[in-house]
Amino acid sequence: MPAARSPRVANPWSGRFSEAPDQAFLAFSSSLAEDARLVREDVLGSLAHAATLRDAGILTADEHRDITIGLRAVLADLEAGRAQLREELEDVHMNVETLLGKYTAAAGKLHTARSRNDQVALDLRLFARRHLLALAEAECALADALLAKAAQHADLAMPGYTHLQPAQPITLGHALHAHAERALRDAERALDAFARANVSPLGAAALAGTSYPIDPRATATRLAFDRAFENSLDAVSDRDFAAEALSVCAIAAVHLSGFGEELTLFSSPAYGFLRLPEPLTTGSSIMPQKRNPDAAELLRGRAGRSMGALIAVLGTLKGLPLAYNRDLQEAKAPLLNGLPYCVEGVRIARALASGIEPVPERMRAALLDLARKHPAFIDIDVAAFAPDRVPARKTTPGGAAPDRVREAVKAAQRRAKELASTVRAHAQRIEAAERALLQA
């Protein structure tokens, strides 16, 4: 979806396309609203490309130095608001190049052995890999928060539900650990997607590679990619890394929607099992005592847009022939919006997980009620009036017994730690490479 361009439809039925077609077309075809997020990526790519051009003898050492200094200045100017992206230049690449022209006459040579086709693919991959790591890290942090609470409440009995009917006693720790397992799988998926996204397309040029003697593998190394592309046609046209990233997000978002549903339910007066952290709820103007679980509801609702972003990319890609087609531009916004949107959701989920407080008396009351009314509870346990001791009998590994929960939580904590350390290693390698390009 486009960013706010409402002026153009302010009087939508009176207009009759009053603008000149070419102006309307500029607005229609510009990707600047999204590209604003790619400034840093675009400059990084250009810095690496410039070094490769120098190694190939295409830029002199002086030209390379001027371009490097210039690019760093352009980034600083844009970040500080001293320069702005201009819509008539259509995309981030032309904007950066034009701004660079103010710093050095060599700016024009930077586009040698490169095309907007491999350049935009590069920027999107730099963006995707960074946010996939952020997602993996956020999922590990969510798992950590859930597991810490799970360890704390491994013994706290509560009803377990099937069909939203109380079925068998479990413990709060057991339930929280279930959500942690999902978070860990989501982190793994993000890392798998990272591995496939972390491939440099630079050097594919328009579609066929180039006749300049550049080495795409050197550029890839400078940007801390795992490798360079295997096929230039594929490199400029494929966006399955975007579809995969958004499918990881959609699954993660569906997990969060279930977590949000449970928090909404169990913090409602009818259950009253949990209190949500106050900063993540809102009051009602009419009813001051009421606390609404807004963060939990938003988590639940956000799965819709994550599914939408995935379909947007898949639908855009469907039926496209090789190689670059302008349709690909429409896959940008869902990726650039959808990934940070998901990371933000996971972080809010972590804040919720850290802040929930159980209300044991409500849990116990629900269990006792149940034990009295549901002979089933009696059948499965002689200790009918101590239903909070029932979970202890579910001794299957992975089952509800507190000792089993504690064991499983410890194992999950170890996996979370390993995953987080893998994420950190990738991030540090990338940060080091980017620092080397960005700093004098």
Tell me if 324 contacts a second copy by CB under 8 A. Answer: yes
Q: Are 292 and 253 in contact (CB under 8 A)?
A: no
Nearer CB in complex with a second copy: 80/397: 397
Tell me if 51 contacts a second copy by CB under 8 A. Answer: no
Tell me if 149 contacts a second copy by CB under 8 A. Answer: no
| 241: its two tokens | 């890394």
Check if 179 is active-site: no
Tell me if 81 contacts a second copy by CB under 8 A. Answer: no
Nearer CB in complex with a second copy: 58/328: 328
State phi, psi for 274 to the nearest 5 degrees: -130, 150
Tell me if 131 contacts a second copy by CB under 8 A. Answer: yes
Q: Which stretch binds a second copy (CB under 8 A): 65-73, 80-88, 101-109, 208-216?
A: 208-216
The correct pick among 61, 80, 105, 318 for binding a second copy (CB under 8 A) is: 318
Question: From CA 91, how far away is CA 97, in angstroms rounded?
Answer: 10
State phi, psi for 57 to the nearest 5 degrees: 80, 10
Q: Are 120 and 236 in contact (CB under 8 A)?
A: no
Nearer CB in complex with a second copy: 61/163: 163
Q: What is the nearest approach in angstroms of a second copy to the Cβ of residue 20? A: 8
Nearer CB in complex with a second copy: 70/338: 338
Write out the DSSP string of 96-146: HHHHHHTT-GGGGGGGTT--HHHHHHHHHHHHHHHHHHHHHHHHHHHHHHH
The correct pick among 112, 359, 399, 438 for binding a second copy (CB under 8 A) is: 399
Check if 163 is active-site: yes
The correct pick among 45, 125, 350, 387 for binding a second copy (CB under 8 A) is: 350
Q: What is the nearest approach in angstroms of a second copy to the Cβ of residue 17? A: 5
Contact positions with a second copy (CB under 8 A) in 209-238: 209-211, 213-217, 228-235, 237-238
Tell me if 371 contacts a second copy by CB under 8 A. Answer: no
**Radius of gyration of the chain from Cα atoms?**
27
Looking only at the bridges linking them, the beta strands covering 291-292 and 282-283 are: antiparallel
Q: What is the nearest approach in angstroms of a second copy to the Cβ of residue 119? A: 12
Q: What is the nearest approach in angstroms of a second copy to the Cβ of residue 62? A: 25
State phi, psi for 357 to the nearest 5 degrees: -125, 125
The size of the interface with a second copy (CB under 8 A), counted in residues, is 188
Which contiguous run of DSSP H or E holds residue 215?
A: none
Q: Are 92 and 33 in contact (CB under 8 A)?
A: no
Which contiguous run of DSSP H or E holds residue 45?
A: helix 39-55
Nearer CB in complex with a second copy: 61/285: 285
Contact positions with a second copy (CB under 8 A) in 280-309: 280, 282, 284-295, 297-298, 300-305, 307-309
Nearer CB in complex with a second copy: 65/433: 433
Q: What is the nearest approach in angstroms of a second copy to the Cβ of residue 410? A: 11
Write out the DSSP string of 339-375: HHHHHHHHHHHHHHHHH-EE-HHHHHHHHHHHHHH-H
Q: What is the nearest approach in angstroms of a second copy to the Cβ of residue 359? A: 14
Q: What is the nearest approach in angstroms of a second copy to the Cβ of residue 402? A: 12
Q: Write b or e for each residue in 348-386: b if 16 or more Cβ atoms lie within 10 A of its Cβ, otherwise e.
A: bbbbbbbbbebbeebbbebbbebbeebeebeeebeebee
Task: Put residue 81 in one of left, alpha, beta given phi > 0 → left and psi -120 to 50 → alpha.
Answer: left
Report the catalytic residues. Answer: 163, 284
